[in-house]
């Protein structure tokens, strides 16, 4: 492979860098073209120009995954920082600038789990954060593809098999819980399975294609809840629970972080006569190729400390 030649940045079409960032983050030309509202042909042409400019393929096919080369992995951080800083400067011309580019650190989730750790992660960053944090969801089964492509720097989900190219460590033994009004007429000292199934429920789900862990458990047990509200975030679901007799079933760690923000509600254990799993091991995942990256080691250390607490 030829060494990257010296490039005069004044001759670079900025759209090439935008295309590079989109392909890197989305993990494919097809998804990147949809994000940028361009044809695949136009985006492929842009990638070809950038490859010629850099003297490097930048992305290679490994099975079904589009994997960035070493040069691409080295470029993405500066490109993201430069484009982000330029966008902020153009949109907020009067804002004071510290002159320091922030690296974006991305965290992937397969469940709506932000409430369990994001507020505390932001608090750890202080008043002058060194990083830009991005949290996004992905479909189950896509863990390794997204870590390999660099779409996510780290991912949090329940334990799954993976290759030696992915590293992982346990974060927490999670369990399910029920959020309801403290004066819910069916609760008593707690819900049994019959009273639980007779209630109206709210489901937090991000899209029609999504299947959350709670729904998978109900499918496994061949039980059916009466869902009367489907929404996309915990805040909306909790607000609905606080003002009604709806039940919300979700991970206890996430609910425990936000239940105090909704006076009149509390958490209840799952019905004792419901044969659901006692605990689920939630793990932190990252790609072995980026194991020694100091910024990602910082991120993993903070997440480890947050969940340990």
Give pLDDT, residue 226: 93
DSSP code, position 5 = P
Give pLDDT, residue 207: 57
Same domain, 153 and 287: yes
**pTM of the predicted structure, to 2 decimals:** 0.63
- The Cα 197–Cα 122 span in angstroms is 37
Same domain, 187 and 272: yes
Same domain, 194 and 206: yes
Same domain, 8 and 86: yes
Give pLDDT, residue 301: 94
Q: Please, what is the end-to-end C-alpha distance for the chain in angstroms?
A: 47
Same domain, 16 and 145: no
Query: Nearest-CA neighbor of 246 among 257, 254, 235, 238?
Result: 238
- The Cα 307–Cα 284 span in angstroms is 10
Number of domains composing the chain: 3
Domain boundary among 95, 122, 149: 95
Query: What is the domain extent for residue 46?
Result: 1-95
Q: What angle do CA 231, 232, 235 make, to 5 degrees?
A: 85
Residues of the chain short of pLDDT 50, as ranges, are 1-4, 93-97, 209-210
Which CATH number does the domain housing residue 257 bear?
A: 3.40.190.10
Give pLDDT, residue 97: 46
Domain boundary among 62, 95, 128: 95
Same domain, 9 and 81: yes
Whether 170 and 285 have beta carbons less than 8 Å apart is answered as no
DSSP strand pairing (247-251 vs 280-287): unpaired
Please name the residues in contact with 30: beta carbons below 8 A apart, sequence gap of 6 or more: 40
What is 195-237 written as a DSSP string?
Answer: HHHHSEEEEE-SSTT---HHHHHHHHHT---EEEEEESSHHHH
- Decide: helix, strand or coil at residue 172: strand
Q: What angle do CA 302, 305, 308 make, to 5 degrees?
A: 150
Same domain, 11 and 87: yes
Give pLDDT, residue 94: 44
Give pLDDT, residue 54: 86
Same domain, 234 and 118: no
Which CATH number does the domain housing residue 80 bear?
A: 1.10.10.10
Same domain, 60 and 111: no
Query: Nearest-CA neighbor of 285 among 165, 122, 125, 149?
Result: 165
Give pLDDT, residue 142: 81
Give pLDDT, residue 2: 47
- Decide: helix, strand or coil at residue 247: strand
- The Cα 261–Cα 235 span in angstroms is 9
Same domain, 165 and 259: no
Please name the residues in contact with 132: beta carbons below 8 A apart, sequence gap of 6 or more: 84, 102, 103, 104, 105
- Decide: helix, strand or coil at residue 65: strand
Same domain, 184 and 274: yes
């Amino acid at each position: 492979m030829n060494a990257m030649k010296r490039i005069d940045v004044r001759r670079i079409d900025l759209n090439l860098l935008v295309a590079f960032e989109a392909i890197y983050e989305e993990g494919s030309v097809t998804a990147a073209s949809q994000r940028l509202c361009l044809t695949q042909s136009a985006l492929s042409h842009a990638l070809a120009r950038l490859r010629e400019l850099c003297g490097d393929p930048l992305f290679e096919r490994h099975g079904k995954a589009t994997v960035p080369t070493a040069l691409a992995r080295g470029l993405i951080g500066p490109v993201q920082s430069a484009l982000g800083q330029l966008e902020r400067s153009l949109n907020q011309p009067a804002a004071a600038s510290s002159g320091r580019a922030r690296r974006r650190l991305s965290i992937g989730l397969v469940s709506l789990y932000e409430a369990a750790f994001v507020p505390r992660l932001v608090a750890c960053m202080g008043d002058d954060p060194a990083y830009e944090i991005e949290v996004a969801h992905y479909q189950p089964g896509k863990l390794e593809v997204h870590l390999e492509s660099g779409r996510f720097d780290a991912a949090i989900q329940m334990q799954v098999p993976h290759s030696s190219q992915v590293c992982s460590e346990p974060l927490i033994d999670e369990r399910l819980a029920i959020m309801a009004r403290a004066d819910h007429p069916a609760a008593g000292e707690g819900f049994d399975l019959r009273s639980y199934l007779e209630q109206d429920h709210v489901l937090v789900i991000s899209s029609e294609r999504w299947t959350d862990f709670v729904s998978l458990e109900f499918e496994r047990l061949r039980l059916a809840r009466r869902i009367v509200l489907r929404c996309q975030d915990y805040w909306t679901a909790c607000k609905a629970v606080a003002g009604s007799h709806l039940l919300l079933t979700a991970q206890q760690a996430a609910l425990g972080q936000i239940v105090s923000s909704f006076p009149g509600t509390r958490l209840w254990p799952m019905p004792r006569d419901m044969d659901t799993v006692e605990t689920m091991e939630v793990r932190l995942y990252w790609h072995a190729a980026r194991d020694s990256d100091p910024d990602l080691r910082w991120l993993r250390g903070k997440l480890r400390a947050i969940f340990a607490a």
